[in-house]
Each structure stands twice: as C-alpha cells, then as structure tokens.
Amino acid sequence: MEYSYYIFDQIIYLQIKGDLLGGNEDKELLELVQIYQKGQIKYCLFNMVELSHMNSKGLSIILQILNLLTEPGGNVVLIKPAAQVQKLLSITKLVKILKLADSNQEAFEIIEKLNSSVKIA
C-alpha cells in the first residue's frame, strides 16, 4: 500500500493506492492520524479510488481511526470505495456507521454539514 496525505483545517485527506490489508505499513495510517489528531484534526477523508483490495484487518484500521476521531466529535468519510469494499461494508453493516461519498466535493460537503465551523471554498 502507498499513501499520501494533506491537511486542511480540521481534516486529514488520505489518498490510498494498492491494498489495505492491515499490515505494518497500513498501521502507519492510524499512527499518522493519532499524531495529527493532537493538533485538532477531527475528520478523515479516505480517497479509495485507487484502492485495489481491503480485508477485515484493513477495515479494522479504518474503524480504529473512526473511534479515535468520534470522541472529539469527528468522523470518517470514504470516497469512491470499490464494489468489493462496499460489499464488505454492507456485510458487516458498517455502511450505516461510515459516511460514503462519490467524489471529493461530496466528501467535503458531508464534513461541512457535520461541522459548521469547517467551511469549504
């Protein structure tokens, strides 16, 4: 798995490429969010357009990030998850908990609705 990230206001935006299978490099995502969460990050946007595969361990990483961010009133938005990922979310009923967006713009609009102090230009 490869990733890049950007910080906007209270948002960390993660671009993920490859497989999210819960390996050591995937755990870096959790550590990264933990570091920035101390600096007032409340929301995590996962751009999954280039995510090839995710298993239950990869899903566990996302849930750990969700748990970390919901305590201060934040949330996680998954952008364009593949059909396989959507099926996994549906089977586990997590589709009811996690926010899904079809585009970056929609993801930012979801965050804006959740928190009126975040304004997207």
Per-residue pLDDT tens digits for 63-99: 999 999 988 788 999 999 999 889 989 999 998 989 9
For residue 90, the enclosing domain spans 2-102
Is 109 a member of any domain?
no
11 located within any domain: yes
Predicted structure pTM score? 0.89
What's the rounded Cα separation, in Å, for the pair 10 and 33? 11
Name the strand (E) or helix (H) holding 48: strand 43-54
CATH number at residue 10: 3.30.750.24
How sure is the predictor about 35, in pLDDT bands with cuts at 50, 70 and 90? confident
Q: What is the pLDDT of residue 121?
A: 53
- How many angstroms separate the CA atoms of 99 and 16, rounded? 17
